[in-house]
Amino acid sequence: MNWKNVLIVGAVTLLPISMMAQANILNAKKPEEIGKKTEQQIAADNDAPLEYGYVDDRDILWSKTVWEIIDLDQRVNFPLYYPLDTIDIGKDRRSLYDVLLKNIKNGELTDVYVDSYFTEKRKFSDLEATLKKKDTTDMGYEQLNAGEALSPEYINEREISAADIEEYRIKGIWYFDKRQGELKYRLLGIAPVAPDVNFIDDESMDAQDNKVPLFWVWYPSAREILHKAKVFNQQNSAQPISFDMLLNARRFNGTIYKEDNVQGDRVINEYIADNALFQLLESDRIKESIRDREQDMWAY
């Protein structure tokens, strides 16, 4: 191979990763046709999320429910956070929060709840107070006190965006399927977490205490939506993966912060207070106990 061929191969390899492969891009005659498939292509794709198999209660030999935090500051969790600026990229690339919020707004995603026990449903109209705030400045109050109409420039509006999401909380169950003879995991719920919108720009607030779950989504009902939403694949931009595949395959790093227990599912930081190291060690202890359970199943 001569130097000319080497340079060509290198140039192709180092193309910007922002040039993510899109549907029908090689067959498009105009830029407007990128991402639009013909009816024949759609029928041939037969693309759907892999269905969960039926698990009878009698087949569950052992189970444990855990709650985890997915910290978006960790590099391995970046696919759930980015992209933030969606102006210069295609419509097929959105952050997980944007995908969830868009489908809640348009009514496609209806199984939205207040907490991780999924007892009280919420509509988008019920979430607006959690997602945005509207304040009147001092000059605005002076206008109102003077009997004048409030000017729009004296109204401050702030809305939670994808850039404000700091972590995700997930709820799932580890169980040992005696029919299959293996330990499995099933994701049950997911919640985006951001600072309280009423104090989001208040630097006097403790950042850790200011985090609140915005809403909880019953994950099985969101699988079809998350399967259609694709995540950028850094290893091969021609083969993006879906959010559903990423989450079900546990291609993220999560830290256990709660497990089901006799104390009413007590959170770790309630019985190990003011010691982040011991809290992390307790989280690792719970994780190791789940792994050891699988090994103990095969011990005679």
Q: What confidence score (pLDDT) does residue 300 get?
A: 56
Q: What confidence score (pLDDT) does residue 21 get?
A: 46
| Cα gap 80→187, rounded to integer Å | 16
User: Is residue 3 pLDDT above 60, yes or no?
Assistant: no
Backbone angles phi, psi at 142, to 5 degrees: -65, -40
Average pLDDT, the chain: 83
Q: Please tell me the total number of residues recorded for the chain in this structure.
A: 300
Nearest-5° Cα angle at 212, 265 to 94: 115
Q: What confidence score (pLDDT) does residue 38 get?
A: 65
How confident is the model over 123-136, as a mean pLDDT?
86
- 167 forms bridges with which residues in the sheet? 71, 193
Closest CA to 185 of 233, 219, 162, 157: 219
| Cα gap 192→196, rounded to integer Å | 12
How confident is the model over 40-65, as a mean pLDDT?
81
Q: Please list, in sequence order, all residues whose beta carbon lies within 8 angstroms of the beta carbon of residue 293, skipping any fewer than 6 positions away.
A: 62, 64, 176, 183
| Cα gap 105→100, rounded to integer Å | 9
3-state secondary structure of 183: strand
Q: What confidence score (pLDDT) does residue 202 get?
A: 73
What is the pLDDT confidence band of residue 12, given thresholds at 50, 70 and 90?
Answer: very low
What is the pLDDT confidence band of residue 170, given thresholds at 50, 70 and 90?
Answer: very high
What is the pLDDT confidence band of residue 168, given thresholds at 50, 70 and 90?
Answer: very high
Would you state the structure tokens that stand for residue 176, as one six-digit string? 């040992």
| Cα gap 244→222, rounded to integer Å | 9
Report if pTM > 0.85: no
Contact between 268 and 279 under an 8 Å Cβ cutoff? The reply is yes
Q: What confidence score (pLDDT) does residue 181 get?
A: 86
How confident is the model over 137-152, as a mean pLDDT?
77
DSSP string, 221-232: HHHHHHHHSEE-
Closest CA to 248 of 225, 227, 234: 227
User: Is residue 7 pLDDT above 50, yes or no?
Assistant: no
